[in-house]
Chains A and B, each alone.
Chain A
Amino acid sequence: MNTWEYAESIESSSIVSIEKKYGIFFDGQFQSPNSKKYLKTISPSTEEVLSSVALGNQSDIDSAVESAKSGLKVWSKLSGTQRAKYLFKLARLIQERSREFAVLESLDGGKPIKESRDFDLPQVAANFFYFAGWADKLDISWNTKGLKPYGIVGQIIPWNFPLLMLSWKVAPALATGNVVILKPAESTPLTALLFAELCQEVGLPPGVFNLVTGDGTTGAALVQHPDVSKIAFTGSTAVGKYIQNETADRDIGLTLELGGKAANIVFNDAAIDQAVEGVVNGIFFNQGHVCCAGSRLVLQEDIHDEFVSKLEKRMQSLRVGNPLDKNTDIGAINSKEQLDKISSLVNEGIAEGGSIFQTDCDLPTDGYWFRPTLFTNAQPSYKISREEIFGPVLTTLTFRTPEEAIEISNNTEYGLSAGIWTEKGSKILWAADRLQAGVIWANTFNKFDPSSPFGGYKESGFGREGGRHGLLSYLKVQS
């Protein structure tokens, strides 16, 4: 029997030029960190060291805050139209250099190039365009003139969608008249550093965008700085709780976008083949490193066997490997630490009694990899049904009636997103009304638009990003 193997089709990385060492970015310039310390950033698909970036400390945050203060003096005098001009310029430049950004994102973070190219970058540009459009229309956004920017905003973003999360944070903050100190994730700083270069290129006034790379201690220093008037954080619920505690007795704005354990509910009257696709997309998109991933398949019991059989067959066709190969569906796990966490939760799932299915694909020898994984025979009490795994691991739970589907879906401390699969429109509305989640998709999953507010219920956080509501995360309302 013959087989048809797809030859490697590698996106060339020659388009990116990575410096050996990066400083922190303030006063519109890259400068050596006061800490004199650096962190290595590696490519998780090869473990090759890509660069060294500054490990910012308290004193570096102080420098960034001073820079932000002078930036704010300039920025707050500009009209909305003038602010928009810079944001539109950034949006256009991001589009022009999107291939470069996409390659860099895949190199540094391990995500497949088809996703960074076709999802992340178009979304990043769209966010800048969208919020650029709001900058001179804030008066009509909520029909009040009483909207005031916070001033200096500290933003801490995660490693799963590094540049996209930057755009979700930076674009609305600048559009509303704030200035920014951004702390990118420890393992994925490179696209943010390239973005800083773009800020220079468009002539953004110095101090309006400031970037301090580093680790958790850098983030903590940013959170603790008394002159920061707003913190926006996307990341784990544990760190979110720390930040909320830390800022509890301060006059400070806070939005948190945290973990999730989303239910993807498949009713027996769904279009099954498309539901299988949606479930696959829901959990295996970006290696499952997605806070709103559909990590619990909540499946009607009478279609369990047929659905699981189709799902397993579909999973076998997922291509795991080199993130820069245009045919790769699933790239590398972002870090050794994350790989260990996924492996340990999966082992606990097996120990608790779940039946595991993993695809047969070959994995590269270097780098961090995890096979697409499906658990059946899992119970709602199992850890794999309750904890956010943040990897390519799907847990199946079954239900008998629509009411039971809702109960199971809401039986979690999280509430970021949910999916509903049925061809019956009234059932979609009925279920959406009862699901405790900030984003609900029907007969689709992982769809994003800059105009749609995104955020969580319960321990998935508070505040909204995107859309008209997203403006309120960066504005104080006075009436």
Chain B
Amino acid sequence: MSLTKETKNTLSWSDTVELIDNLRVDEVGLKERVASLATRSIKKDSKLQALNYIVTMCDLTTLEGEDTEGKIGQMTAKAIRPDPSNIEVPSVAAVCVYPALVSKAKEMTKNSNVKVASVSSYFPSGQAPLESKILDTQFAIDQGADEIDIVINRKAFFEGDYRKMYDEIVALKEVCSSVHLKTILEVGELRTYENIKKASLISLAAGSDFIKTSTGKISDGSSREACYLMAKSVWDYKEVTGFKAGIKVAGGIRDSKDAIRYLVIVNEELGSDWLNPDYFRFGASSLVDDVLKQIKKLKTNAYQSGYYFPRG
């Protein structure tokens, strides 16, 4: 690309087209590399360090129709102090809730460094006019959200109208100028690896601070292959623009072992600069519970039952 190498978090549409032109991914090679990264043996101190990273990178999430202020109260309390029996366990990065519950979450987290993230743009389907998505997003920001997770327009993507997908993100980024924008690709719907890479690059070029795997609302959520491709996209984008974007993996990551494998991908493909909550997040509801158990196990050699840890 003929762009000047300066930090720039958006690209014009014509530069974006150049970026996604002739993009190629070989499935066999990709899977082989990801499988090989999964064989890294993470033990002892490096495991404890990883587990602590994971806690600080978690967006503790509840996105259900049944969510109430009471539920948000429980979850935010857990987010601030995940393991009351061990003060060394840090707070999680953020809680992630629907816009109607942002103000409650803000109130609960006001004396902590836990951020409040909200989903918008007609999450999870994104099947609404842009005007509605903007209103949805603006509402969440007005309620105090620090971070906004939007979904890409998959209808436009599959209809080949990449420009529309790009324009929508640009428009929503304008609304989100003061907050952190995470763009959800829904990789389980995009299916092919070329699609995942293409959607990643378009989302980055349109100004996303983060790209995120999944809404968590469909059965095929995150995958390590998707994370790897997103890491490659973030790297390629950094090479072109100088801008370091982040990645959030969400959807089906339930245990520490799996989460550590994601960390290995980020560590080896992007480097340790990305190993902090400004650049890497896990969106999860139950992952933290397993991580807490593993931390306790490393410290005490006992694998404790779930009831020793607070409900979120």
A interface vs B, CB < 8 Å?
Answer: 1-9, 114, 118, 269-275, 277-278, 309, 317, 326-327, 423, 443-444
Contact = CB atoms under 8 A, between A and B. Distances in A.
Nearest to A113: B41
**B interface majority secondary structure:** helix
Contacts of B263: 4
A274 B272 contact: no
A270 B276 contact: no
Contact of B29 (A1, A2, A6, A444): A444
7 contacts: A4-B272, A5-B46, A6-B46, A271-B29, A274-B25, A277-B33, A317-B268
A7 B47 contact: yes
A3 B30 CA distance: 25
Instruction: Provide the main secondary structure of the chain A interface.
Output: loop
B232 interface: yes
B22 A269 contact: yes
B267 to A, nearest CB: 6
Contacts of B39: 114, 118, 326
Interface string B37-73: 0011111111101100100000000000000000000
A407 B49 CA distance: 52
A449 to B, nearest CB: 15
Contact of B272 (A2, A9, A327, A423): A2
B26 A9 contact: no
Contacts of B47: 7
A274 B26 contact: yes
Contacts of A326: 39-41
Contacts of B32: 277, 444
Contacts of A444: 28-29, 32
The 6 A-B pairs with the shortest beta carbon distances in the complex, nearest first, are A274-B29, A9-B41, A271-B26, A274-B26, A326-B41, A271-B24
Contact of A269 (B24, B28, B33): B24
B81 to A, nearest CB: 22
Contacts of A272: 24
B175 to A, nearest CB: 32
Contacts of A114: 39
Contacts of B25: 271, 273-274
B226 interface: no
A395 B53 CA distance: 39
Contacts, number: 72
Nearest to A272: B24
B26 A423 contact: yes
A22 to B, nearest CB: 32
B275 interface: yes
B273 interface: yes
A314 to B, nearest CB: 9
B46 to A, nearest CB: 4
A1 B267 contact: no
Nearest to B45: A7
A363 to B, nearest CB: 20
A2 B46 contact: no
B50 A4 contact: yes
Contacts of A273: 25, 29-30, 232
A7 B43 contact: yes
B275 A443 contact: no
Contacts of A6: 40-42, 46
A309 B267 CA distance: 18
Contacts of B272: 1-4
A317 B231 CA distance: 15
Contacts of B275: 2-4
A388 B25 CA distance: 32
Given A7-B45, A317-B268, A2 B40 contact: no
A478 B41 CA distance: 54
A273 B32 CA distance: 12
Interface string B83-97: 000000000000000
